Amino acid sequence: MTPAGLRALCLSFNAAVEDFPFGPDTSVFKVQGKMFALTRLDGEPLTVNLKCDPDDAVRLRGEHPGAVVPGWHMNKRHWNTVTVGELPARLVRELVEDSYDLVVAGLPRADRLRLDRP
């Protein structure tokens, strides 16, 4: 997956926006003001921080050592840093979608319903 592909994927979800609260080099993708992905699109290698269920986070780290590690500068229990080029694009898409869904699940019910994600 390319940086442009990752950006397009993150922005493909309902109400997803790109923000730059940490400077012009760091893309933060949010839904309803809550972050679900953080990346430097020009980073080498391309990595992305994604929210993850704590049990799944540990499992993924074990299944993909080096490619999935505890979230850099994030809560290590709930966030993973994923090296995009070391995983199949399908898995990266699933992880981004899971991150988005976890954030949406934490939103008030009225917001979830507006996003068609009950």
Residue 81 CA to residue 47 CA, distance in Å, equals 6
Q: What is the model's pTM?
A: 0.92
Q: What is the CA radius of gyration of the chain?
A: 13
The mean per-residue pLDDT over the stretch 23-46 comes to 95
Position 58 scores a pLDDT of 92
pLDDT per position as a tens digit, 52-93: 999 999 999 999 999 999 988 888 889 999 999 999 999 999
3-state SS, the chain, equals CCHHHHHHHHHCCCCEEEECCCCCCCEEEEECCEEEEEECCCCCCCEEEEECCHHHHHHHHHHCCCCEEECCCCCCCCEEEEEHHHCCHHHHHHHHHHHHHHHHHCCCHHHHHHCCCC
Residue 23 burial (CB count, 10 A): 7
How do strand 47-51 and strand 68-70 relate by DSSP bridges?
unpaired
